[in-house]
Amino acid sequence: DVKVTQSSRYLVKRTGEKVFLECVQDMDHENMFWYRQDPGLGLRLIYFSYDVKMKEKGDIPEGYSVSREKKERFSLILESASTNQTSMYLCASSAKSGTDNEQFFGPGTRLTVL
Amino acid sequence: AQKITQTQPGMFVQEKEAVTLDCTYDTSDQSYGLFWYKQPSSGEMIFLIYQGSYDEQNATEGRYSLNFQKARKSANLVISASQLGDSAMYFCAMRERAGNQFYFGTGTSLTVIP
């Protein structure tokens, strides 16, 4: 059974804290993605990575950074959390090529920044 | 311009009836893939159905079918014989051949009424 796992389902942090969200996939996928989901706005891409140590900015990268040191792991970092980063964060992975390769999603992390 | 447009923020359907969720897309690529995902209140994104741009037949997966009209750039999801468990958010997405990114719509919230 293929899986994308995220380190936490729920997380509460304080303003100014450094926050790490971890994502691991076991499908040997080249591509990994971090999305943010807010009501009425759908999924917005923060960053994605198409190979180890490679990354590209998505639509809303401000206030976030990422790290991909190993193929199976993609981390999202909030350097200094702010209340407007309270949201649902979804990690996904997909095979590199082929328009028929869907994304597989993790269960999501609901982050609250107080 | 939006790559994926879902114009129905919320929909209601009677149990056992069929419902159509709208999706239009915008791309200049000749090769692309269209996906529908379901997101229950638990938050996890579940892949439902895929349609390739070169597929001549509409995709079907159990009670889900995709009404693909290439000239109109629409890929509507049809759910037949709705069940209470179909109540969820539904997202339409597209992957173009050029690039690794997926584009998502803002979603449609479906409520099935007993």
Q: What is the pLDDT of residues B36-91, one digit of tens each?
A: 999 999 888 999 999 999 998 999 999 999 999 999 999 999 999 999 999 999 99
> Of A42, A48, A102, which is closest to B100 when you measure between CB atoms?
A48
Which tens digits make up the pLDDT trace of A17-67? 999 999 999 999 999 999 999 988 889 999 999 999 899 999 999 999 999
Distance of alpha carbon A93 from alpha carbon A48, whole angstroms:
9
User: Is any Cβ of chain B less than 8 angstroms from the Cβ of A89?
Assistant: no
Ramachandran assignment for B47, one of left (phi > 0), alpha (psi -120 to 50 degrees), beta (any other): beta
* Contact partners, residue A114, CB within 8 Å, separation at least 6: A12, A13, A14, A15, A83
Q: Please tell me which residue of chain A has the smallest CA distance to B50.
A: A100
Encoded amino acid at A91, one letter: C
Which tens digits make up the pLDDT trace of B1-28? 689 999 999 999 999 999 999 999 999 9
Confidence of residue A95 (pLDDT cuts 50, 70, 90): confident
Chain A residue numbers touching B100 (CB-CB < 8 A): 31, 48, 50, 94, 96
User: Is any Cβ of chain B less than 8 angstroms from the Cβ of A61?
Assistant: no
Chain B residue numbers touching A41 (CB-CB < 8 A): 106
- pLDDT at A2 (0 to 100): 66
Average pLDDT over residues B94-103: 85
User: Is any Cβ of chain B less than 8 angstroms from the Cβ of A31?
Assistant: yes
SS3 string, chain B, reads CCCEECCCCEEEEECCCCEEECCEECCCCCCEEEEEEEECCCCCCEEEEEEECCCCCCCEECCEEEEEECCCCEEEEEECCCCHHHCEEEEEEEEECCCCCEEECCCEEEEEEC
Confidence of residue A1 (pLDDT cuts 50, 70, 90): low
Chain A residue numbers touching B45 (CB-CB < 8 A): 90, 92, 103, 105
